[in-house]
Structure 1
């Protein structure tokens, strides 16, 4: 991949023509009607950044309009009729840690490059749109809400990548599974706490999480609290000062190559995806001056592990835990292989 993993702003160039008519014509036929609710979970009302949304009955035609919510939808036992491609071109826009949960289903894959595909979504006749990590603003939300009940990012959250646990619970609420969602979050954190207890050598050491290649002389790194939980839950402390290079909440720090020393730490995790990424990093004149690089304390992930660290959902975090821990063990000892996926 040669594009920055996170788009911080999205604009929509979609002309919404006869949108309300499309939605109105999308009333479900016999097979699409909401299932009975013997457990009394519905209706549920979910508060979000743009107000609140009531889901009247258990949804049968769920459209995932955000980049990563498919993981939690699948983990909670639901199968979406549509997912949204972020990056990686994975089958059905679902990565390996979640794909088995799809079974034989083949959801429609949407694209969010220019904002939600309103007309395509309307044609799918959804009874619930989950857009917790979809970059929504008020206008986008209102357009989606004309099609079907839409659940947006949590109140006070960012357009993209609000805290992973809040995203998971928000998605679970929309599905009438709040308790189950909270349990999944608790179990995920407990798994990390167990590994942290088994590795006291991680405690208090500084760590940086950075993308796996530079763009136009900039390397994007993640300040504390922005997709860094896989490190902090294990006891590491995120390298301070990165936030000075970020343009705002939810936006990565853009580090110029001449300032690259600010990412130096006891351990650096680079989200590399292929060998060429490491070549790209080494082409930065200041890369080899980093002590973590010189002393074999830098980790270079493979492509799927990089995706898991970017996705930061309960499923991807559990996938990452088993795979990043040996890398971190080696890096702390100064024995990290200096190759992608090593």
Structure 2
């Protein structure tokens, strides 16, 4: 069953027919270990290369159209949306499917003729730079990832251009990621088309869920073993940022978290200040979540006391917001945003 939003189909179709050149990109460039070129259903824009892309760690100069592409974060989604099959992507150890991928990435890969499943890179402990170097990629795209300066330096010293994040780790917007990926692959025109369609998806979702427009929200997290603090995501984080794109608003207490970090802690004594139309958080089991919701600390949080909350047990449903891409966002819009709208309307959600 294909789980990507039906609204995404036109964008994928557009990405796989750029310049109506079809499979011509498959016939050129470097080859993998089996001797066949990595798959692509699209071609680069005319005169797209060479290109130099700036990031917080330094420049990446890409001399010619890359074919052996390695991605970190969720840039594999952006590459696949542009009709290109990466040779290696980051393993999704949180929120992914049993294979360590996502259903929307797998569906996009199926749209690319001859594409094979990429190697999965486990970044649980660190970015596996030696493994990446061994793959001999033409480029590493890591626009929204945990890549460090040391990782960047090691990969570039090995002669590999690295497109890193333009600001803080994990703080790149989905639009920036798509734009940078499009630039790295020489497919900026297609990237802009897909960005426009994703924005249309956001606008359509706001129209379909009018309860969310203008509603205030707090996206928080709790440690069941220690609720002396409540973690609150700031608007540096993509989760709140995308909800704001949908027309929701962050209350003043979220703004106190500043713009340097993606979260901050609010002590239990200040829990009553966490006032908003809805509170969003994560849970592990229904039983643990219900027990936690009845604690005095959480009951002092107004939206919890009022029954305006969403506790999601399905990380897959919010993955498209926490690690946003043009493929993951539509899934979250379809599966998660209606739950938020229901909670604003007075129907608490633990699912």
Q: Same fold (TM over 0.5)?
A: yes
SS in 2 for 1:286: helix
Tell me the residue number matched to 1:74.
Answer: 80
- Matched-pair contact (CA < 8 Å) for 1:53–1:151: yes
Q: Which moved more, 1:138-147 or 1:26-35?
A: 26-35
- Tell me the distance in 2 between the aligned counterparts of 1:33 and 1:86: 22
- Matched-pair contact (CA < 8 Å) for 2:219–2:281: yes
Residues 113 and 172 of structure 1: CA distance in aligned 2, closer, same or farther (over 3 Å): same
1:249 matched to 2:260? The reply is yes
TM-score by length of 1: 0.79
Tell me the residue number matched to 1:182.
Answer: 192
TM-score by length of 2: 0.77
For residues 99-155 of structure 1, what are the alpha-carbon distances to aligned partners after superposition, in whole Å with 9 as ceiling and x for unaligned?
A: 22233623222222443212111111111111212333433211111231111112x
Q: Within 5 A, what are the aligned runs for 1:96-245?
A: 96-103=103-110, 105-147=116-158, 148-154=160-166, 157-211=167-221, 214=224, 216-217=226-227, 218-227=229-238, 228-245=240-257
Structure 1 residue 320: Cα displacement: 1.0
Superposition RMSD in Å: 3.0
Structure 1 residue 212: Cα displacement: 6.3
1:324 corresponds, among 336, 339, 344, to 336
Tell me the residue number matched to 2:36.
Answer: 31
1:306 matched to 2:318? The reply is yes
Structure 1 residue 91: Cα displacement: 4.5
Structure 1: stretches of 5+ with no match in the other structure = 1-25
Residues 77 and 313 of structure 1: CA distance in aligned 2, closer, same or farther (over 3 Å): same
Residues 33 and 334 of structure 1: CA distance in aligned 2, closer, same or farther (over 3 Å): closer
- Matched-pair contact (CA < 8 Å) for 1:32–1:60: yes
2:102 corresponds, among 95, 106, 109, to 95
- Matched-pair contact (CA < 8 Å) for 1:196–1:233: no
Structure 1 residue 76: Cα displacement: 1.2
- Matched-pair contact (CA < 8 Å) for 1:92–1:108: no
Residues 326 and 131 of structure 1: CA distance in aligned 2, closer, same or farther (over 3 Å): closer
- Tell me the distance in 1 between the aligned counterparts of 2:62 and 2:320: 30
- Matched-pair contact (CA < 8 Å) for 2:144–2:164: yes
Give the count of matched residue pairs.
310
Residues 271 and 251 of structure 1: CA distance in aligned 2, closer, same or farther (over 3 Å): same
Structure 2: stretches of 5+ with no match in the other structure = 1-29
Structure 1 residue 38: Cα displacement: 8.3
- Matched-pair contact (CA < 8 Å) for 1:212–1:278: no
Tell me the residue number matched to 1:259.
Answer: 270
Residues 49 and 213 of structure 1: CA distance in aligned 2, closer, same or farther (over 3 Å): same
- Tell me which stretches of 4 or more aligned residues in structure 1 moved more than 6 Å: 26-29, 33-38
- Tell me the distance in 1 between the aligned counterparts of 2:45 and 2:247: 43
SS in 2 for 1:192: helix
For residues 150-175 of structure 1, what are the alpha-carbon distances to aligned partners after superposition, in whole Å with 9 as ceiling and x for unaligned?
A: 11112xx1122322211221122111
Q: Which moved more, 1:281-290 or 1:165-174?
A: 281-290
Structure 1 residue 58: Cα displacement: 2.2
- Tell me the distance in 2 between the aligned counterparts of 1:191 and 1:160: 23
